[in-house]
Chains A and B, each alone.
Chain A
Amino acid sequence: MTGAAPLLRVRDLCVTFPPRRGRPPVRAVDHVSFDIAPGQTLGLVGESGSGKTTTGRAILQLQPVTGGSVELLGRELSAMPRAELRAMRRHMQFVLQNPYSSLHPRMTVAQILAEPLTVHGSVPKPRIPERVAELMTVVGMDPTVVRRYPHEFSGGQRQRIVIARALAVNPDFVVCDEPVSALDVRTQAQIVDLLHDLQDKLHLSYLFIAHDLAIVRAVAHRVAVMYGGRIVELGDAADVYERPAHPYTRNLLDAVPIADPAKQRAKLAAPAADPDFRGRAGESGACVFGDDHGASGAPEWHEIAPGHGVSCRYWPADLMARRAT
């Protein structure tokens, strides 16, 4: 961590979905705070329903925010007038999971890539074809195929086109929501390499949302672990992966299959510990340590090392107990 001003600063971000069919309101994102430094990647991990995607959408102001602040390049985005927000959108872009549904099937690649350029008026009209060809080259595709339609490309190529479209307006910050989950392993590796190259070349910052912890390890400088709408652990990737402090983080890491037959067999043979995690908003019952978060409220945030924090009432007693055994 450096003292430089963060590119993105999120503080106490909350999103509550209104009550439906007599069910109580759902606090999908609950006081989430983090920074992303210029040119760096924050990995956001957690299970489905943990609020990762809602967090990404709320930051981009695609989702009404109930509370908290989102500052991009020093400017507060929540409550920003629409016209201004529209202008800010060229600084922040979105890459989604499914390259099959995020490209318009009846538009050619040239049209798809020209659209953001026209909307933001960032390139004079006669120069658009030139910029489109440049974008194709940047993402490692042949610029002569821009007259084709999305269905003529493979999943990996489509994801490159989605990335090219995100880059069209020279953003500073890109939210990548499960950008490689729908792809084969070799294609995943290629897209991850591409994202690395682009980050180095263009000094991009990413919020990289994924449920695959191994992929996140490969791309993220820092990692935030989300559970039940809250960030329960946040730190440099090496710290979180090698010295996880929250029991939920440990549980996630333990569950990742290892591509080594002997180790993976031993892991599966070990007694199945399926700990019952609690602590979602409005949920009562004991957490793994026997504490009822529903009654006692969210635990405080402990800074356990520089830049590494955990939200658990039982830290560090938990760690000491584990060391003792």
Chain B
Amino acid sequence: MTGALLEVRDLTATFNRDGVPSQVVNGISFDIAPGEAVGFVGESGCGKSVTARSIMRLAPEGSSVEWSGRILFRGQDLLALDEHAMRDVRGRRIAMVFQDPMASLNPVMTIGAQLDDMLCRHTGLSRRAARRRAVELLDLVGIRDPAHRADDYPHQFSGGMRQRVLIAIAVSCQPDLLIADEPTTALDVTVQAQILRLLMRLRRELGMALMLITHDFGVIAGMVARVYVMHGGDIVESGAVDALFAAPRHAYTRALLDAVPRIETAGRRA
């Protein structure tokens, strides 16, 4: 694909635990076009999160990861960048939202201060201008009374509001690619719907690409144009979302789709 924003070729990720290497991503290739929404689906341990973190060159805490292959972002191989240059990409060009919003926020800093930090580091705004922008961002993600809420601490927000704050931080530097790893898994179903709508709107308004990682076919269904199905560190199937749901070709994809509980199907009768 030409003009891809992200081109991943033969990516492997190998963990090293106590000197024993174990490969969890087995040479996968995929593309994401500018402004495109792409989904990654699979069960826990399939390598979808490691793939996402590999793009950010982040290793899970307390482990070391060896990568091979190429991750071309706007033609530049991220795996070849030094840490300093990578820091410039992370957060500014590619941003990430994780599942657990409480673990991702600093509990002893106000929300506003955490946004200010991000803005000052990446955009060179002054402290005062950064705060103005922070309030705008909180407003953008639908936080009511943003000027006052900026002085609140994470524990003063509900789970859904915290996820909105994290999204505000992630989009603060107008990244080209937003990676969302199970962004709604820890949330109530009504809040999940709100966060999904928010992600859709921001993608449209900011023109960014979205890489959405989830185990939930319901979440993926309305959000993305294309889907990659991962299993055991491999991409086992990929394609346009409508075709994949209508006629899954791989047995594993079929098994996953069949297991999805359907709210419209009758269950047991009293």
Contact = CB atoms under 8 A, between A and B. Distances in A.
A215 B270 CA distance: 16
A261 B242 contact: yes
Contacts of A255: 189-190, 192-193
B124 interface: no
On chain A, which size bracket covers the interface?
35 or more
B222 A213 contact: no
10 contacts: A188-B259, A213-B189, A238-B269, A241-B263, A252-B190, A255-B190, A259-B221, A259-B260, A259-B262, A265-B222
Provide the main secondary structure of the chain A interface. helix
A80 interface: no
A272 B189 contact: no
B221 A258 contact: yes
Contacts of A185: 43, 215-217, 256, 259-261
Interface of B: 43-44, 159, 188-194, 196-197, 200, 215-219, 221-223, 241-242, 245, 255-257, 259-270
Interface of A: 1, 37, 40-41, 47-48, 155, 184-189, 192, 211-215, 217-222, 236-238, 241, 251-268, 272, 274, 307
A264 B218 contact: yes
- Most B CB contacts (10 A, CB to CB) among A185, A251, A263 go to A185
Contact of B222 (A217, A220, A261, A272): A261
B270 A217 contact: no
Contacts of B193: 254-255, 257, 268, 272
Contacts of B217: 185, 259
A217 B256 CA distance: 19
A258 B190 contact: no
Given A272-B194, A274-B194, A213 B263 contact: yes
B244 to A, nearest CB: 9
Contact of B269 (A215, A219, A236): A236
Contacts of B263: 213-214, 217, 241, 253, 256, 258
A251 B215 CA distance: 23
A189 B258 CA distance: 9
B218 A221 contact: no
A185 B256 CA distance: 7
B261 A218 contact: yes
